[in-house]
Structures are given as C-alpha cells and as structure tokens.
Amino acid sequence: MSQYHTVIGLETHAELNTKTKIFCGCKNEFGSKSNTNVCPVCLGLPGALPVLNRSVVEYAVRMGLALNCTINGVSHMDRKNYFYPDLPKAYQISQSFVPICENGFVEFWYDGQVRRVRIERIHIEEDAGKLVHAGDRAEETYIDLNRCGVPLIEIVSKPDLRSSGEAYAYLKTLKAILAYLGICDCQMQEGSIRCDVNVSVNKEGEALGTRCEMKNVNSFSAVSRAIDYESDRQTELLKSGESIHQQTFRWDDIKGKNYLMRSKENADDYRYFPEPDIPSVFISESDINKLAETIPELPNAKMIRYVTEYGLDTKEAEYIAFDQSLSQFFDECINTHKYPAKSYCSWIMGELAKHLNASQKGLSQTRLTSAMLNDLLDAVNSNVISNSAAKSVFEVLLEKGGEVDSIIAELGLAQISDTKTLESIAKQVIDNNEKTVQDYHSGRSNALGFLIGQCMKHSNNKANPVKVKEILLTLLG
C-alpha cells in the first residue's frame, strides 16, 4: 500500500511598512492608542473615498520582482463584500480579477537541495480593524480601527509544498526577502505576517485531494503544527475509508486543534466586483525597470550560493544569508579573495555571532569591517598573534574599531616566536612538570598537550603554539 503525501499551499499576508495607510493619509503605525490613527476614509464614513497610496503599488511590485512574477502593467482593485464588525465599509478593497503580480516562483535551500515553489499571485489589499474582547464576558467587545487600511500584500503559493518543514523553510525565506526589501517589519507578535494554510493529502500519482483551509495562523511554528495536525487528520480519515469535505477551520495553536468555521455548502459568497472608486492601477515598463534596479541579491539566492559554492552548511549559510548586513559583510570578505570563505564563516559563526547575541546588536552597530578581519587573519597567519589572542583583538575591533597592529601592540598580544625565549619557557615547564614528562615518555598522548598549554599560560597566551610544540618535542627528545 502506498503512502499518503501531504500537499500544502500557503496564502501569506504581509503588512507593508509604508508611512501612511493604503487609501488615506493616516499613519501606518503599530501600537498607537486605540482609534487614533483614523479618518473618515478608514472609518468608512458616508461619502469618504479611497485614494490608492502609490508606495503600496511600488512595494508590491518589488516583492513581485523578488519572486520572479509577471508584473501586470494594468491591474484593478475589487471589492470583497462581507459583514464583520472590524470591517467598517462591509467590504475589503482587494484585488480579485487582475492582481498586480502573478505567475512567479521562489527558490530556497531545503533538505539538501534547491526547492522551487510556484507563486500564483501577489495582490494588494487593506487590512481590517481588530476586535478586543474584554475579559471573559462575551458581551464586551471593543473595536480598534487603527489597523483598518493598513496595506497588505497577499502572496499566494501554488500547492507545491510537501511537508511542514518545507512550509516553514518557505515562510522563513519569504520573511527574509521582505526584510531585505525593507517593505515589512516582519514582527510576528504584531501580526505583520499571517497565514492561511491549505492542506490536502493524496497518494503518489493520484490527483490532488480535497483541501481544507486553516485561517489566520499567526506564527511559522504554528503553521507547521497546523499542517501536521491537519495532514494526520485527513490521512486517518482516508485510511478509515472516509472522504474529505472541503472545509474551513480556525486553528487554535494553544489547544493544538482545529475548529470548524464553515463547510463548502455554506461558504461565504463575497460578491467580488470591480471597485468603482479607484481607477485601474497602472505601472509602466520603465517604472518596473527602475524598481527592479533596487532589488539586491536576495537571501534565498545567497543561501544557495553559500552552500553550493563555498560549502557552508545549511545552518551557517542561513544564519549569514538571512541577515542582510552579515551577508553583505561576508560577501565583502569573500570578494577580497584573501582567505577561503570557510575561514570568514568560522569567525562570523563563532566570535561575531557570540558577540551579537550577547549584545543584542546587529553587525551595523559594530565597528568591524572586512579589511579589519583580513588584517586580523593576516596577523594570525603570519604568527604575529595566537588564535586566542586574536579573539581579544576581535573584541576590540567590534567595540571600537581601529588598526589591528596597534591594538595588538596596545594589548601587548604580539606572539612570541623567538626561539630563545620560547626555549627558556619550555625548559622551565619541563622542569616544573616531571610527572607529565614521565607520562609523555611512557606514551600518554595528552601529556604533550598539557605541556603546550602550560607554556602558553607562562607566556600569557602570547607564545606561538606551533613553535612551542616544535621546541618541546626537541627538548623532550
């Protein structure tokens, strides 16, 4: 009997961080006092009219270009009609018939290979307000309309994802791209990225199964849990000979369960029709080209390059590639062609990551440059300082910057490679550690290491460990 496969499609909503809302001049700002960033337009007062914020169009086009989409030179806004207390006009202005971007794809590194997920469309729309339920009492619900009219893009994937892990990697990739483009704050806890998750299961070679949708899943890990839950549920049903009905659920991440919202038979009819208050959205070929020029090499491409060209492991490649300033720094280092990518990577993943984690800073808040790191590596490679001394210098470079040579001098960290000095240290260590010397001669392998360590200690970590070893070996015979 063949196995069931999971098929996943994601609709990802990302709030754009334009200065103002999509259809009015109100501030697009999270965390303001309730119902203060509002005006007749976003309150849906009689007579108010929407005016499309051009930045929203540009942001969406940039995301479309990043996801290899066709950009529609003419697209339209449409109305999606439904009643809900957080939706003041009783319709959401969205794009149904002709979205601004369609037919794209995104590639990312997952499970040891490059995966490609097709993008069906990206469209622009407005967010709704927020219901605030006061306490447990059902009769007290407040509405905060600050979020009404916050611009969103909805990125709709084809059902090309095959596992919760892959969906997670896809979402992390989208998030990194949004951050690279600087068009979304990507604050999950503020709801700036949300997902609707479509899941179906089928057997190899069969047509796609009936899909179920889970609405408004708020974190990537919740998406992953929801997928596993739903895929298991559907598989169990099919195994026991039942069929799947097209249904929409609300995912409760705390309880780890799905709650039925509606079945296909009573699905909402949104009565989409063209928004008469907003003329067609035009974007010219030359504007598209100009926007294309603003798009840097993206994190997913970088990650693939780091893995396939420089042999970084997945974790390292992701850590560096998904952080714009880190990857910029890494690429700068690589472009100097002085040291192998791996050496830079180990400094980034080691001392730099440690420092950034501890200080809760980004690379841009440090003073480090690629030239400094190269100078430091030069000093280590030419035996001017030891590896451990280099760490101290690195710390100074991060905090204060400066010349590697002068930091070494200031800290008195220059490595001792002078044979005479090292010989006298080694002799002293050998004299003081008779027992270990005996151990060495009786073949204990770690004895030499201990003696080297003692030499380092005596030299305040300044001794050249390679030379120390040579000298010890000679002296011990």
Partner 1 sequence: MELFEYKAFELAQMLTDKQISSSELVSAFINRINTVDKKLNAFITKCFDDALEQARIIDQKRVSGANLPLIAGIPIGIKDNISVKGLKMTCGSKMLENYVAPYDAAVIEKLRQSGGIMLGKLNMDEFAMGSSNQTSYFGACRDPYDTSKVSGGSSGGCAAAVSAGEAACALGSDTGGSIRQPSAFCGTVGFKPTYGTVSRYGLTAFASSFDQIGTVCKCVKDTAMLFDVISDKDHRDSTSVDKKYNCYNSLCSDAYGLKIGVPRELFESVSHPDIIDSFNRSVNLFKDTGAQIIDISIENTKLALAAYYVISSAEASSNLGRFDGVRFGYRAKDCKDINDIFIRSRTQGFGDECKRRIMLGTFVLSAGFYDDYYKKALAAAKMITKRLDSLFEQVDIIALPTSPETAFAVGDKLDDPVKMYQSDVFTVFANIAGIPAISVPCGVDKNGLPIGLQLMSKRFDEQVLLNAAYAFESAFEGIPKPRL
Q: Which of 278, 295, 301, 353 touches partner 1 (CB under 8 A)?
A: 278
Candidates 337, 333, 379; CA nearest to 352 is 333
Binder of partner 1 out of 239, 271, 290, 361 (CB under 8 A): 271
Decide: is 143 part of the binding site for partner 1 (CB under 8 A): yes
Stretch that binds partner 1, among 77-85, 114-122, 236-244, 391-399 (CB under 8 A): 77-85
Contact call for residue 132 and partner 1 (CB under 8 A): no
**Whole-number Å distance between alpha carbons of 69 and 103:** 5
Which CB atom, from 47 or from 477, has the smaller least distance to partner 1? 47
How many positions of this chain bind partner 1 (CB under 8 A)? 28
Applying CB under 8 A, which part among 38-46, 190-198, 318-326, 378-386 lies near partner 1?
38-46
Dihedral Cα 316, 319, 322, 325, nearest 10 deg: -110
Q: Which of 30, 105, 168, 272 binds partner 1 (CB under 8 A)?
A: 272
Q: How far is the CB of 121 from partner 1 (least distance, A)?
A: 20
The stretch near partner 1 (CB under 8 A) out of 66-74, 81-89, 284-292, 438-446 is 81-89
Are 9 and 119 in contact by the 8 Å Cβ rule? The answer is no
The one segment of 55-63, 106-114, 268-276, 448-456 that binds partner 1 by CB under 8 A: 268-276
Task: List beta partners, residue 258.
Answer: 251
Least Å distance, CB 233 to partner 1, is 28
User: Between residue 217 and residue 246, which ones bind partner 1 under the rule CB under 8 A?
Assistant: none
Q: Using the rule CB under 8 A, is 182 a contact of partner 1?
A: no
Q: Bin 244: left if φ > 0, else alpha if -120 < ψ < 50, else beta.
A: beta
Nearer to partner 1, 25 or 340 (CB): 25
Taking the least distance from each CB to partner 1, the nearer of 88 and 209 is 88
Question: Is 89 near partner 1 (CB under 8 A)?
Answer: yes
- Name the one range near partner 1 by CB under 8 A: 13-21, 87-95, 106-114, 306-314: 87-95
In whole angstroms, what is the distance from residue 89 CA to residue 334 CA? 54
Across the beta sheet with 70-71, the strand order is 70-71, 101-110, 113-126, 151-157, 4-15, 193-203, 212-217, 247-252, 257-263
| Contact call for residue 273 and partner 1 (CB under 8 A) | yes
Q: Which stretch in 88-96, 229-237, 340-348, 448-456 sits in contact with partner 1 by CB under 8 A? A: 88-96
User: Least distance to partner 1 from the beta carbon of 19, Å?
Assistant: 17
**Does the footprint of partner 1 cover residue 50 (CB under 8 A)?**
yes
Residue at token pair 């009997």 = 1
52 touches partner 1 (CB under 8 A): yes
Nearer of residues 137 and 420 to partner 1, judged by Cβ: 137
- Closer residue to partner 1 in complex, CB, 272/339: 272
Nearer to partner 1, 52 or 119 (CB): 52
CA distances from 366 to 72, 356, 361, 395 (A): 42, 9, 8, 10
Region from 107-115, 180-188, 267-275, 393-401 binding partner 1, contact rule CB under 8 A: 267-275
Query: Which CB sits closer to partner 1, 10 or 24?
Result: 24
Least gap, CB of 155 to partner 1 (angstroms) = 25
Give the residue, chosen from 19, 27, 54, 85, that forms a contact with partner 1 under the rule CB under 8 A: 85
Q: What's the burial of 49, exposed, middle or buried (CB within 10 Å: 0-12/13-18/19+)?
A: exposed
260 scored as a contact of partner 1 (CB under 8 A): no
340 binds partner 1 (CB under 8 A): no
The Cα–Cα gap between 83 and 271 comes to 12
Query: Closest approach of Cβ 122 to partner 1, in Å?
Result: 22
Could you identify the residue written with the tokens 């030069």?
378
Q: Which stretch, 49-57, 107-115, 343-351, 373-381, contacts partner 1 (CB under 8 A)?
A: 49-57
Residue 97 within binding range of partner 1, rule CB under 8 A: no
Nearer to partner 1, 114 or 131 (CB): 131
Q: How far is it, in rounded angstroms, from Cα 112 to Cα 317?
A: 12
Nearest to 422 by CA among 392, 394, 379, 386: 386
CB neighbour burial string for 198-207, b if at least 16 within 10 angstroms, e if fewer: bbbbbeeeee
Interface with partner 1 (CB under 8 A)? 40, 43-52, 79, 81, 83, 85, 88-91, 143, 269, 271-273, 276-279
